[in-house]
Amino acid sequence: MEIRLMIPSAEGVRPMSLSVTMRTPGNDFELAAGFLLTEGIIQGRKDIEQIAYCVDPDVEQEFNIVSVSLRPGTSFDPALVERHFYTTSSCGVCGKATIEAVRVRHIPKIPTDSPRVSHRVIGRLGNELRESQHIFARTGSLHAAGLFDAEGMLLSVREDVGRHNAVDKVIGQQLLANRLPLSATVLMVSGRASFEILQKAAVAGVPFVVAVGAPSNLAVDVAKEFGMTLVGFAHGDSFNIYAGGHRLIDLPEREADGGGAQRRPRMAVGTLGGSLDVS
């Protein structure tokens, strides 16, 4: 899908092709809105005047081109607009994996101690997400992102061949409904926790991210930098805590093993390359 930005100027409206992404059709407007927000092109819902499929008479309508019209007076960084993005289903946007690039964005203040989430809730999220993956149930081939409240109630779920796209769709849905920042929510993703996913969560104000797979080193760094909680390898009651463990409550008491290491039944405090899963 191509995302075109319609930029108002004194000379009229100037179209610019901003991104081409491999995606699963559906919720395309949410994908476009979420992408623009999490990549720093827009600051909020107020910057968007209209989102529509391209109706160029010279282009056959295949619903693969989405045009986003910026509201007149919207301020943005021309350098971001002029640099084209190419996103893939596997690695997201390439060439910008630095924490400094996130730090200069408009990041909502993430609450220091909330939401507080029971480890029992973490154990339920995976099943809740899987049961809501209706396309995955038929194909077995899509990622998903789910937004939950602190009690584990599912607020939104989106599926896509790209896990970054699924996150953008969830965030875009909340953006268009004027529900940002998402400071009381938990985001769960069906794959690994990459730098890009943590970056997108931070921009949307999400304080708590849970992944079925492993986090990258940069993802852990982003979580620590912005005071987020990051949980990986979440499979039922087994999971690793990589950052922000203070938001988890009702954790089993740690037990010392024979070598003096601190252990928790069915979970571990993890550091990349050295985490201990004692499930």
On the question of a cis peptide bond just before residue 111, with omega within 30 degrees of 0, the verdict is no
Residues 6+ apart with CB under 8 A from 157: 129, 132, 133, 144, 145, 146, 147, 170
State which H helix or E strand residue 249 sits in.
strand 248-249
C-alpha 93/C-alpha 177 separation (Å) is: 25
User: Which is the catalytic residue, given 13, 59, 91, 153?
Assistant: 91
DSSP 214: P
CA distance 7 to 219: 32
The dihedral built from the CA positions of residue 194, 197, 199 and 201, taken in this order, carries a sign that is negative
| Catalytic-residue membership of 91 | yes
Look-up: residue for tokens 């491999």?
22
Catalytic residue numbers read: 91
